[in-house]
A and B are shown apart, each in its own frame.
Chain A
Amino acid sequence: MTESIPSLAAAPSNAPLQIGGRRGEIRSVWRVAWQRFVRHRAAVIALALLCLEGALALAAPVLIPADLAIRPDPLNILQPASSAHWLGTDEVGRDIFARLIYASRISLTIGFLSVVVAVTVGTTLGAVAGYFGGAADNVIMRLTDAVLSIPVLFFLIVLSVSLGPSVRTMIVVIGLLSWMELARIIRATFLSLRHREFVEAARTIGTSNAAIIIRHILPNSLAPIVVAATLGVGNALLTEATVSYLGLGVQPPTPSWGNMLFNAQSYFFNAPWITLYPGMMILVTVLCINFIGDGLRDALDPRVRDR
């Protein structure tokens, strides 16, 4: 078992990916994927930046007093960047840099957790539709089409108002409106694999449907799930920012990158930095996530490697 690890890892980069087989081989496939990912320079830089951002967000309470981000300071409103306030202050005198870091805690949480919701829903529905086919497939795919033809933002606003805007609402709502693409991908994989020999074999020895779905077929669709989930985080961040900007998402005084821009329009003239920094933060973060998604696609999808 251990012999296959060095042999696969040392294989030339354009050797076909072997998925499945014995345990040791599966592990080495991920190692090969990692080596391929590392060669995507932009993705590696993006991953480093994102890790830095995550570390800052986690360590925020230790590094920066929360007061700076939350308590108004009437004597220091609309200050431009200085050594005391690295990125200036907003209309009630809160430090923009501190707010950005505290906001990243909220925004990143929403981004990642809503994708967890989306992956759970999408994978479950896609697997059931693709594995069982027939009526279940029909109903689920009609539902998917219906949700896909909904202009998401309209429903997001309605849902957010009806459930009461909060971080938890944003996570659930964004998750519930972004599982469709994933469901389709998973369904397609299941459709193509459900009559393959290894599935039939598992069935003949009496494996339950649930076990076949989870243990035998799902691992084969891990790569597209990982890529779609990564890109999903970027989309979720953009959506959260939009809804919060409209005043219907995360509610002040809790800062999020979106709601920091809520009043920005009134201060274009005097304090352009209020508008610039939160947007740049969103842009850079989403850009990093998209680069990582790109790198993961190159690393995990054997079909795109020759591009």
Chain B
Amino acid sequence: MGRYIVRRLLQAIPLLFLISLLAFVLIRMSGDPMSMYGGNAALTAADRDRIIAAHGWDKPIVVQYFYWLRDVVRGDWGTSLYTYQPVTQMIWERLPNTLILMGTVFVLTLIVAIPLGIYSAIRQYSFADYLITGISFLAFAIPTFWLGLVCIMLFSVKFKEWGWPSLPAGGMYDLAAGPSFPGLLQHLVLPAFVLSIVSMAGYIRYLRASMIEVLRDDYIRTARAKGLSEGSVNWRHAFRNALIPLVTLITMNIPTIFSGALVTEQVFAWPGMGRLFIDHANRGDYPVLMGLVMTVSLLVVIGNLLADIVYAALDPRIRFQ
């Protein structure tokens, strides 16, 4: 098991290398860091050349990449070209916020989607099934950010206007009250709800299909034939096997959740990594952007690994080799 994990992490290195090279070239092409000195009249042409040379920006991009890689391997992720803060510190401040949002969404999605998907399959073509399938079909077509906007408009702006108890429109804490757990929960409700609705849709559809498939299998007929109760057949025999493909879905979904979190953070002014990314995307602040891309990629790799371990635990046919 330990060796399996180590081997999988080693296998991820070429992937991370490829992603970092691709990302570096694209990001370096996306903006000129010198533009931030823009119309600074105090800066002579000689000063500009010195700054460019000091950063190595006169070298080809691929050479710059290997400078960056060398520093990263030594543990130096560089400093932001704008705030002069160390990149590690900037990401470290934002990482927990993104994980809080994503973790909540993940748990909420599973808690709601699993029972609904299973129920929908067991009671196929019932009214509840049509309702659940219909809503998830609808949620599949909703732009996440627009659902966020509409929720803010309704639950924050309009509820306040009508004098009803309303939810905060954005941010993570009440600025006046300062950080507190109840404050965090209040601010978490809307973004977590919006992201969950959208990600639930996929899970419900998938689980329903998978459960229906399993319910048609021969061993389910056998279980029924030997007189097991409907509950026992559904939950002890079918449910556990229908759950296995779910793990694959989770794996495939991790990058999508990050993308969803990025835009949701923007809509709800949630101070996470996605917002940091958008704030610096237009400025060519490549140390920060690279740090973020690599952090997210690493989290995706770890997420995939965790999913595979769970997969093996659920399915006795799979063994680590």
Q: Which residues of A contact B (CB under 8 A)?
A: 142, 145-146, 148-155, 157-159, 161-162, 234, 238, 241-242, 245-246, 248, 258, 261, 264-265, 268-269, 272, 275-276, 278-279, 282-283, 286-287, 290, 307
Contacts and interface: CB of A to CB of B under 8 A. Distances in A.
A258 B146 CA distance: 9
Given A149-B255, A149-B297, A261 B146 contact: yes
Contact of A268 (B19, B152, B278): B152
B143 A151 contact: no
B149 A151 contact: no
A287 B134 CA distance: 11
Contacts of A151: 255-256, 258-259, 262, 296-297, 300
A275 B149 contact: yes
25 contacts: A142-B15, A151-B297, A151-B300, A152-B259, A153-B258, A153-B263, A154-B293, A157-B278, A158-B26, A242-B143, A245-B146, A245-B263, A246-B263, A258-B143, A261-B145, A264-B149, A268-B157, A272-B153, A275-B149, A275-B150, A276-B150, A283-B138, A283-B141, A283-B142, A283-B146
B73 to A, nearest CB: 20
Contact of A245 (B145, B161, B259): B145
A153 B277 CA distance: 11
B292 A154 contact: yes
A158 to B, nearest CB: 5
Contacts of B256: 151-152
A106 B19 CA distance: 31
Given A151-B300, A275-B153, A279-B143, A290 B137 contact: yes
B18 A146 contact: yes
B29 interface: yes
A268 B259 CA distance: 25
A244 to B, nearest CB: 10
B161, B277, B304 — which one has the most chain A CB atoms within 10 A of its CB? B277
A283 B255 contact: no
Interface of B: 14-15, 18-19, 23, 26-27, 29-31, 137-138, 140-146, 149-150, 152-153, 157-158, 161, 212, 252, 255-256, 258-259, 262-263, 266-267, 277-278, 281-282, 289, 292-293, 296-297, 300-301, 304
A150 B19 contact: yes
Nearest to A152: B259
A154, A241, A279 — which one has the most chain B CB atoms within 10 A of its CB? A154
A76 B27 CA distance: 42
Contact of A158 (B30, B152, B263): B30
A154 B19 CA distance: 12
B26, B31, B161 — which one has the most chain A CB atoms within 10 A of its CB? B26
Given A157-B281, A162-B30, A269-B157, A286 B141 contact: yes
A278 B149 CA distance: 12
A154 B296 contact: yes
A161 B300 CA distance: 24
A241 B143 CA distance: 8
B161 A269 contact: yes
Given A158-B30, A161-B282, A248-B282, 15 more contacts: A142-B14, A149-B300, A150-B19, A152-B255, A154-B296, A157-B278, A158-B289, A158-B293, A162-B26, A241-B145, A245-B145, A246-B278, A261-B149, A275-B150, A287-B138
